[in-house]
């Protein structure tokens, strides 16, 4: 479950205060798959970062499961993210000098989980990358890199997946793999919040949230 109540975030730009988010409220229950759409600069990425505890709102509350993120210290938020929130990015954000396996395992470092390696290998096989397990990102296609990102996001069995333009750099076939993985995750009770400009990708979600000028329309 993901709940935002009256969330606001402002930035200073050229001496003026700009409202990236202006009183945003949203509730996504278990098993929900929602897409966020809107013009560039409307606050979509800021919304994701705040949902994931990577940014702190100036006002309002963010609750993931039973935990209000603002009650946690920075270290506690980092550990909470590792155990409860998975991130999938347009640019993949893989570590170039690590193997596919070690890139997936990087998500488990804050938790020191002895079972992580076994789960990582299982996810890598699930996403059809078993024969590339020791390859580095430079040796993978864009679609394969995003499948690594999916495995990393799901490694710690999160409650929520936050995705920022996850199909933006992919061909339609690779994009379908990503969207189906999100749908399957939601069908098992997980919550997915995906930012996308792609209308076809948004239609795969159960709900579409429209944003403009820091507000939900």
Per-residue pLDDT band for 109 (boundaries 50, 70, 90) equals: confident
Count CB neighbours of 104 within 10 A: 30
Per-residue pLDDT band for 103 (boundaries 50, 70, 90) equals: very high
Residue 56 lies in a domain: no
Full-model pTM? 0.93
The residues, ordered by sequence, that sit 6+ positions from 59 with a Cβ below 8 Å of its Cβ are: 6, 7, 8
C-alpha 56/C-alpha 47 separation (Å) is 10
Q: Which residue has the tokens 């209308």?
A: 199
What is the pLDDT, as a whole number, of residue 133? 95
What is the pLDDT, as a whole number, of residue 125? 95
- pLDDT digit string (tens) for 176-195? 999 999 999 999 999 999 99
Residue 111 lies in a domain: yes
Residue 180 domain boundaries? 29-45+71-216
Residue 197 lies in a domain: yes
Number of domains within the chain: 1
- pLDDT digit string (tens) for 111-167? 888 899 999 999 999 999 999 999 999 999 999 999 999 999 999 999 999 999 999
Residue 54 lies in a domain: no
The proportion of the chain whose per-residue pLDDT surpasses 70, expressed as a percent, equals 100
The domain that contains 194 carries what CATH number?
A: 3.40.50.300
What is the pLDDT, as a whole number, of residue 18? 82
Residue 52 lies in a domain: no
State the average pLDDT for the chain.
93
Count CB neighbours of 114 within 10 A: 8
Residue 50 lies in a domain: no
- pLDDT digit string (tens) for 10-55? 988 777 888 899 999 999 999 999 999 999 889 999 999 999 999 9
What is the pLDDT, as a whole number, of residue 156? 93
Residue 175 lies in a domain: yes
Residue 194 lies in a domain: yes
């Amino acid at each position: 479950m993901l709940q935002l109540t009256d969330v606001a975030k402002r930035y200073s730009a050229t001496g003026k205060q700009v409202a990236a988010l202006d009183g945003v409220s949203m509730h996504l229950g278990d098993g929900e798959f929602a897409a966020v759409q809107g013009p560039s600069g409307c606050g979509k990425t800021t919304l994701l970062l705040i949902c994931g505890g990577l940014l702190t709102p100036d006002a309002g509350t963010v609750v993931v499961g039973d935990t209000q993120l603002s009650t946690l210290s920075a270290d506690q938020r980092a550990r909470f993210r590792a155990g409860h929130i998975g991130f999938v990015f347009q640019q993949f954000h893989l570590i170039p000098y690590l193997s596919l396996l070690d890139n997936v395992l990087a998500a488990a470092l804050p938790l020191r989980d002895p079972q992580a390696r076994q789960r990582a290998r299982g996810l890598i096989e699930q996403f059809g990358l078993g024969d590339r397990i020791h390859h580095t990102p430079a040796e993978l296609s864009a679609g394969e890199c995003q499948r690594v990102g999916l495995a990393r996001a799901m490694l710690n069995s999160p409650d929520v997946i936050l995705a920022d333009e996850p199909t933006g750099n992919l061909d339609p076939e690779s994009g379908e793999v990503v969207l189906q993985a999100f749908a399957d995750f939601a069908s098992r009770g997980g919550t997915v919040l995906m930012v996308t400009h792609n209308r076809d990708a948004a239609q795969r979600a159960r709900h579409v949230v429209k944003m403009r000028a820091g507000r939900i329309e």
